[in-house]
Structure formats: structure tokens, C-alpha cells
Chain A
Amino acid sequence: MIAEVGLFSLVLAFTLAVAQATVPLYGAAVGDGRLMAFARSSAIGQLLFVAFAFGSLTAAFVVSDFSVSLVAQHSHSAKPLMYKISGVWGNHEGSMLLWVLILAIFGGAVAAFARNLPDTLVARVLAVQGMIGAGFLAFILFTSNPFARLDPAPVNGNGLNPLLQDPGLATHPPFLYLGYVGFSMAFSFAVAALIEGRVDPAWARWVRPWTLAAWAFLTMGIMLGSLWAYYELGWGGWWFWDPVENASLMPWLAGTALLHSAIVVEKRDALKRWTILLAILTFTLSLIGTFLVRSGVISSVHSFASDPARGVFILGLLVATTGGALTLYAIRAPQMKLGNLFAFASRETSLILNNVFLVVTCGAIFIGTFLPLFVQISNGDQLSVGAPVYNFFFVPLAIVLMALMAIGPLLSWKRGNIAAALFRLKVAAVAALGVAAGTLLLQAGWAAIAFAVAAWLLVGSVWVIVERMNLSGGLGAAWARAAGLPRSAWGMVVAHAGVAVCAIGIASMSVWTAETVTLLKAGQAASVAGYEVRLLSVRDEQGPNYTAKVGRFAVSIGGAQIDEMIAEKRVYPNPGSETTEAALRVRPLDVLYVTLGQGHPDGVWTVRMYHHPLVVFIWGGAVIMVLGGLLSLSDRRLRVGAPRRAAA
């Protein structure tokens, strides 16, 4: 029963979305207030219906209703409750439902909270949201019905892919989708602005909180995904340049560029066409990300449910959504007036350089991801683009970008002074040189450059605040001055510092990783980076829905035991696969990582161990970036006093 009610609720949501996509648009065109007001009520109605459908599916998973085909395929009665719930989005149909739910949440949030916006803009933004919603609801209803029944119902289900039975992965897709789908708001605002033919500083300020929130969510989602890959895939890597990882990095890079170019629109009323284009591009890349995972165009470890028929539908949605927006752009952009002028040495130029670097990086990753496909189509040849290729262009681009990131915020709008800015960064320069010299003593090569640039950015970012605190006037007064700085200024400093911290982790991981792979019997030991790791025993253990080989290890330094570690190799009978549960000894400055590999005759085991100094900085840096985003999001100017538009 619950499945049918859920399906019916989805049909109602679809109908409402179609109405939301058309009625307010007409209302805004003819200036009818009641028709425009329909946008808000239908957005909230859509949220309620989609939430109800999602709740119904969750209920079916929780009570293990195997007469629902999706539950039978992806759940199992012996699964812990948490993974029954995460099983809802651990499959294609459910994850698309989550996608639409998040879209409806954003629509509902605009309807409920955007009280200071002009009615015509709200009507048009929500109408565009309605179009996207209608498209994806149609996709679910016509190609991926999550509520399809199975008759006769099996006694038990197939179980969820065990790689996905993990807290990191249970929470990773919702965050990723909050980011992907959140960028639909920037897209809708951009399309609404194109329809109205107006992009001005007020518009930029209205979009900012939505873009910022989506960016923070996406950062968090990518960070969780990378963390999961690190401890679950069991071979000590944290980023693989896998097509699906690239699919989440591309909208992140474009979204980061968008955040920065929108500042120029807001402060200087310039870069308007480019910002609109970026907003469209960012959401398009989010859609391509969905397309990539769902269509099976490129096979990867992530595409656990792929189907070309669905790919065709999503491709159609992509062409309709982005094609529509770009057609509108082609019509309206030439009419937009150019923005204010600025000198080469200015904040504007530095933000444009930021955009150039981010977009070029994004473009390079795009080419790397899709080149194999293009080459195959063009001449049938096979080609694979691996990590070395990506690192070859990514590392230099990132290093130059980070070097510039410290300088940009010190330049003033319109006309800045590069020499003065560099002079103000003298402390950062000293720090960078010191770190470079220190690194060169330990390790030669490019690592010194990477660490020096990270130190330069870290000190340079924080220095902006220190300088404004003016420490010579006493600590109390300095603190008051710091507290008086706008939250957006703090947000920028914190986010930039997060990038530096992340870079330190990445650089350290790539030059100082130590690895030992060896065969051990119980009682034997091997060493890695000064740690001695002794295999104590390997036992069989029974989990709730798996059996495991559990290896106990003793860790000692210089003969004195400091810790015990437990690594597992799990076998899940439903649906029958293995996972590696690495043993991690996490300390702020290093991680010791031990996995139990293949068993051999006579109780000999393959044991792989790594020592990763500063690896925690990679994810810590990402969390700091998110905090920076949230700080900026809490800035006063985004909460109150929505700007009034200048008369047209």
C-alpha cells in the first residue's frame, strides 16, 4: 500500500511541477500578482509531495518490504538499521529520488525565506526550478520507478553492495547532491535574470548565499568521498582521478570560480555576462556528473547502476536545460551593458585570474575525463588518461594559483598597487623561504616549492587579519578590531587558509609516504618509517551480516609497544563480496595504515602497511574551507537589509 501511495505522491509532485514551471512565468510576464504568488505555494506543495514519496520509500526499506523490487534488490533483513536507511540512496532509483527531494528542499527554501526579493524574480526563479523538477520527476516516473512491485515477493533481499555499507559513504551522497543540486539555484537565478534582461549588484547579492551554501555542501561531500576511498578501498590512496571523482571536482572548480566572479558583479557591477555563463556552466557540470554516473558512458568503480536508456533521457534533460539557458544567453547577453573599467593591477584582475586558472583546470580535467570517449568514437582507438597526466597539469596550475591567492585580497578595487601588496606580504615571503629551505634539507625537488607556496598562502591569508588588528594598540583593542571585521572577510581568510592546509597534506602525502608490503606469520614483524608492526593473530569473527578475518597487530617504536591495531577482511555473503577494513592509527601529524591482504597456506598473510605524514591535513583543510564558507554565509549583509534595486 505504502509504495502505491508514494508513487501517487510522485505523480502529484510532477503535475504540480509542470504547473510551477508555467503559471508563474506567465504571471510575471503579464504582471499578475496572484499567478506569481502561485510559485511559492506550489514550491512548498512540491516539497511536501516529494518528501512524502521519499518517506514512503524509506519506510519500505526500514520494514524490509521485499515486495518492493528496489528493496528486494538492495536491502536485506539482517542489515543494520542505519544501512537500511542509507540503502534508500545506495541505488539508482532511490538516489534520483534523493536528487529530486533536495531540489524540492531548495525550492521550498526560496519560497519560505526569500522574503525581500522582488515578486517577479521569485516567480521566475521558482518557475525555472519547476522546469528542472518536472524534468527529473519525469525521468524517475518513466525510466526509474522506485516503487515497482515484485511478485512473488522473495523471502529475503540481495543486500547492499558492502563497499557502500559504511558511515562515510552513507553520508557522502546526500552532501554531494546538496552541492550539485544547490547549484541549480545559481542556474535558476541566472536564467531568471536573462529573462528579465537585468543583472546588477543586487542580483549578485541575492544569489550569493545559495551559491555559497551549495559550494560548502559540495566541498564537504567531496571530502567525505575522498576520506571513504582512503580507509575503505584499502590501498592508502585518497584521490584516484576516477571519472566519477572528476565529475564532482569539475562543478566544484566552476562553482568556486562563480563565487569569486559574483563578487565582482556585486562590488563593481562588472563581469556580468561571464558570471551568468559560469552559473549555467556550473549546474551543467553537475548535470554531466549525474549523466556520467548514471549512463555508463564511462565505466568506473562508482557506476554500480548504469543503463544507456536512462543515459539518453538524462542527455535529453541536459540538452533541454543547458541548451535552453544558452539560447536565452545568446539572445540576451549582447544587450547587457559592459561593466565598469579597471586597471590591470586591481582586485578585479586578480579575481579574473582566479577564474582563468580555475576554469582552465576544470577544462583540462574535462578533456582528460572525456578524451578516451571522444577518441574511441572518432577512430575506435583506446586511450586511458591516468593519474600522472592529471598531476602533470594540475600541480603547476594549483601552485601558481595559490601563489596569486595571497596577493589578490591585498589589491584594492579598480586600481591597486602590486609592489605595495608584495611588500605587505614580506612576513609570508620569509615564512615561504624558511619552509623551502627546511624542506630542501629533508627532501629535494618540487616538494620544496609546494610547501613554500602553501606556507606563503597560509601566512599571507592570516596576515591580512593580523594587519587589520593593528597589534601595536594593545591586545584588547586588537581583538575588538578583529571581531569587528565583517564575517565575509573572516570567511575568505579561513577558506584560503584551508586551501593552504589541504595543499600541505597533499604535498606531504606525495613525497613522504612510506610503504611496506610483506608476508607475515603470526609472531613475525615488519617495519615502516620507524614503526615496528607485529602480527599477533588472525581470527575468524562473525558480524551482523558478514564474516571476517580479524588481524591483531602490535605497534612499537624502538622496542617499546605503543599501540595495538585491528585490521579486518570482511566477506559479505549477500551479495557476496569482500571489503578491506584498514587499521588506522590516526594522530594529528601522521597516520599508520595497516591492511590484511590475501591469506596463503601455513597461516601466512600478505600485510600492507603505510606511513602517511600529515595526511589528516588534506581533509582537515577541506573542513576549514567549509567553515570559511559557513562564516561568510553568516555575514550580516546576506541576512538582513536586502538591497533595493536602482531604478531601471
Chain B
Amino acid sequence: MSRYLSLVPLFLLLALAAYFAIGLSTDSRTVKSVLIDKPLPAFDLPKFGADGETFGSESLKGRVSLLNVFASWCITCRVEHPVLVKLTQEKRVAIYGLAWKDKPEELKAWLEELGNPYLAIADDAKGRTAIDLGVTGAPETYVIDKKGRIRFKQVGAIDDYVWRETIEPLVAHLEAEP
């Protein structure tokens, strides 16, 4: 009995390691490759701050834009936010927000405190659209082309370096497309 019992920790470790291994291989990268160059999954959500209006994937067609998944409870979003505010102030690119599992009053307080860089915010309170998008954590940012297709997915915060090296050149490239 004791002999079998002392094998338990080893099996637990192996099970855990198997999960970690799967976690490493199926991490955001595969989700990314599935959705890249595909149209943005259709959604139509309440538009934050505009009673009764909705905001959906159709509105993202016709111009190159960023769809930023964020939440007021997310610490990294707080780090990322000033960069987005600056991009909007300097009119570099159109940024839309997807508020993920957030409460309207907390969202309001957050935007009042840190500024609002978004042209419009879709309120995904239940997190259904985030699942369709394959969001793995906040913040995440999708680069959407003029035809409304996802062309790139940034996992984690956009800082100046990511903007300069990755997203800005891509946006410039997509702007040049018909």
C-alpha cells in the first residue's frame, strides 16, 4: 500500500508537466495562426457610453484599425494605456476598444482617470466575443485591415518598442493596400 502511495507525487508531477507541455505548444501562437488573415469574428455589442447603440465588427471595415482588448481590472493594461492615449493624440491610427468582462462604473472611472484613447468601445461584459476572438489574456491587440480581416495579433502590452518595430510598419503597409 505504502509503496503505491509513494508513487502518487511522481504521477502528479508527470500529469502537471504534460499540461504545461500542452500549454506551451498550444499557446496563443496557434490561436493566432487560425485567425490570421480571416475576417474578424462577427459581433454586435452594446456601445459603451451610448445608451441603446451597438458597436460591431461591421463598423471596423473600411479603414485600418486596432482593436484593443482591455479591462479596468488588468494591471498590464494600466501600463499600456498611456501609449494608446499618445497614439490617439498624435492621430497615428484608429483605435477601438473591447472592454472585457468589465463593469460599466469601473470602466467609466478608469477612462476618466487615465484618458480615453478609443474611437468607440464595445462592452463585452459576458466575455463571449473575447472567446470568439481567442483572447488569452488582457491586454491583446488585433490589427484589422480595410476589409475587416485580422492581420496581426499582439499578445501583451503595446509599448513604444512594439509600436515602432512591429505595428507601425504593418499599419503603414496595410494603409497602402487597396
Contacts and interface: CB of A to CB of B under 8 A. Distances in A.
B161 A158 contact: yes
- Chain B residues touching A, range: 35 or more
A300 B79 CA distance: 11
Interface centre among B24, B76, B112, B159 (most CB of A within 10 A): B24
B10 A330 contact: yes
A296 B9 contact: no
Nearest to A309: B24
Contacts of B39: none
Nearest to B131: A382
A158 B161 CA distance: 9
Interface stretch (B15-23, B49-57, B142-150, B166-174): B15-23
Interface stretch (A93-101, A104-112, A314-322): A314-322
B73 A301 contact: no
A322 B136 CA distance: 29
Interface centre among B6, B73, B161 (most CB of A within 10 A): B6
Given A575-B160, A598-B85, A312 B24 contact: yes
Nearest to A295: B24
B13 A377 contact: no
Interface centre among A291, A296, A517 (most CB of B within 10 A): A296
12 contacts: A163-B79, A299-B155, A312-B24, A329-B10, A330-B3, A376-B23, A376-B136, A377-B22, A575-B161, A597-B114, A606-B113, A606-B114
Contacts of A311: 20, 24
A158 to B, nearest CB: 7
Closest 6 CB pairs of A and B: A576-B160, A326-B10, A333-B6, A598-B115, A578-B82, A334-B2
Nearest to B109: A517
B103 interface: no
A342 interface: no
A327 B14 CA distance: 11
Contact of A318 (B17, B137, B161): B17
A376 B136 CA distance: 9
Contact of A315 (B24, B73, B136): B24
Contact of A299 (B78, B101, B136, B164): B136
B7 interface: yes
B113 A598 contact: yes
Contacts of A158: 161
B135 interface: yes
B136 A291 contact: no
The secondary-structure label for the interface of chain B is helix
A323 B10 CA distance: 6
A203 B83 CA distance: 56
A306 B48 CA distance: 34
B156 interface: yes
A376 B137 CA distance: 11
A492 to B, nearest CB: 29
B38 interface: no
B76 A299 contact: yes
Interface in A561-607: 575-578, 597-598, 606
A41 interface: no
A382 B127 contact: yes
Nearest to A158: B161
Contacts of A280: 9
A315 B17 contact: yes
A280 B19 CA distance: 20
A382 B20 contact: no
A323 B101 CA distance: 39
Interface of B: 2-3, 6-7, 9-10, 13-14, 17, 19-27, 29, 73, 75-76, 78-79, 82-83, 85, 101, 109, 112-115, 127, 130-131, 135-137, 155-156, 159-161, 164
Nearest to A333: B6
A297 B76 contact: no
Interface in A393-421: none
Contact of A386 (B21, B22, B73, B136): B73
A179 B102 CA distance: 37
A203 B26 CA distance: 44
A597 B109 CA distance: 12
Contact of B27 (A297, A300, A517, A608): A297
B113 A323 contact: no
B122 to A, nearest CB: 16
A233 interface: yes
A381 interface: yes
A260 B76 CA distance: 37
Given A301-B76, A384-B101, A374 B13 contact: no
Contact of B114 (A281, A326, A598): A598
Contacts of B164: 576
A374 B19 contact: yes
A242 interface: yes
A474 B29 CA distance: 73
Contacts of A575: 159-161
A382 B160 contact: no
Given A315-B21, A315-B24, A301 B113 contact: no
Interface in A317-351: 318-319, 322-323, 326-327, 329-330, 333-334
Given A326-B10, A576-B160, 7 more contacts: A303-B156, A319-B13, A323-B13, A330-B3, A330-B9, A575-B161, A608-B113
B16 to A, nearest CB: 8
A577 B160 contact: yes
A235 B78 contact: yes
A577 B83 contact: yes
